[in-house]
Structure 1
């Protein structure tokens, strides 16, 4: 991971690096990442995700965003959702762990998850959950980070190329209170 740094990004930082975040999402989906989008997936749709789905809760404090940066180039990202119902304020949810295909297999995903886990623990979240396409390349990464399988739901989401539905695996990690 030489030369790569992980930074927490606020709303202004997202806006300043919007093209980079857009490129990571667009490239990941084009490479087959099953992260809620299907083909065709134009760059405009990727940009709209960041401006309409991420920016408002980021401004409101209901979401934390990280970027993996190679110089000033965004090469990976992950988010921690914090805006939970009153009876679930002890937990957070991982969403959109993405590494640009050109930067994969360098430990970036692992470093992003480590930053997310450290922040969740520092905020007193005692449970972090996520879901991932069953058998996806990210599943062993999550397991290596200490996430355990809670269960699997078949036929959960359409693949990016369409025509097939894949299962999803729900995973979780418990953190000691007050850590």
Structure 2
């Protein structure tokens, strides 16, 4: 399993593979910000926006590959506000259903966290659907549960979904 960060050109070239990952997740009814059936144009536009964020230095995009196939991805949006130079938002941790349970999520998160540290981002936050398999993995990765907001989003197939928020300090703040 290879874990690597994509630059802007690689992110742009990877849009079809990244779209397939997201479509697999949506088909599994994961709350990823999209509704079913999957709108291919909207998914493509989303990944183009991510690639633009990578080009602007506002997004870190990591992928997991096995034998040349993308089997997972995760990203961090780097807070752009002047009072938040230390913070990042982890988004879209996706692993193909056929590759779940093999440690791909852990490898992706470790690589993303290491890159965030390098960029001076030592406080990370994320949210995930309450009761999902994803919610169960974050505490095992050292993340702290903050709380739950009921009816925060919709599942792709409809129906409201509560959302659990987490944070992780990668380092102690400088005085």
* TM-score between the two structures when normalised by the length of structure 2: 0.94
Match of 2:36 in 1: 39
Partner SS for 1:167: strand
Check whether the contact 1:80–1:92 (CA below 8 A) recurs between aligned residues: yes
Partner SS for 2:50: helix
Partner SS for 2:127: strand
Partner SS for 2:142: coil
User: Unpaired runs of 5+ in structure 1?
Assistant: none
Match of 1:172 in 2: 167
Alignment RMSD, CA only? 1.5
- Are residues 1:136 and 2:143 paired? no
Check whether the contact 1:134–1:168 (CA below 8 A) recurs between aligned residues: yes
Name the stretch that deviates more: 164-173 or 35-44: 35-44
- Are residues 1:159 and 2:155 paired? yes
In structure 2, distance between residues paired with 1:31 and 1:44: 19
Which of residues 50, 56, 73 is equivalent to 2:52? 56
Check whether the contact 2:87–2:123 (CA below 8 A) recurs between aligned residues: yes
Displacement, 1:17? 2.1
Number of aligned residues: 174
Partner SS for 1:81: strand
Check whether the contact 2:79–2:87 (CA below 8 A) recurs between aligned residues: no
Displacement, 1:151? 1.2
In structure 2, distance between residues paired with 1:18 and 1:170: 28
In structure 2, distance between residues paired with 1:177 and 1:122: 14
- Are residues 1:78 and 2:74 paired? yes
User: Unpaired runs of 5+ in structure 2?
Assistant: none
In structure 1, distance between residues paired with 2:84 and 2:119: 14
Match of 1:26 in 2: 23
Residues 78-124 of structure 1 deviation map (CA, whole Å, 9 limit, x = unaligned) = 00111331111111110000011121111101110111111122222
In structure 1, distance between residues paired with 2:142 and 2:172: 16
Residues 32-73 of structure 1 deviation map (CA, whole Å, 9 limit, x = unaligned) = 11110111113333222111x212111100001011001211
* TM-score between the two structures when normalised by the length of structure 1: 0.92
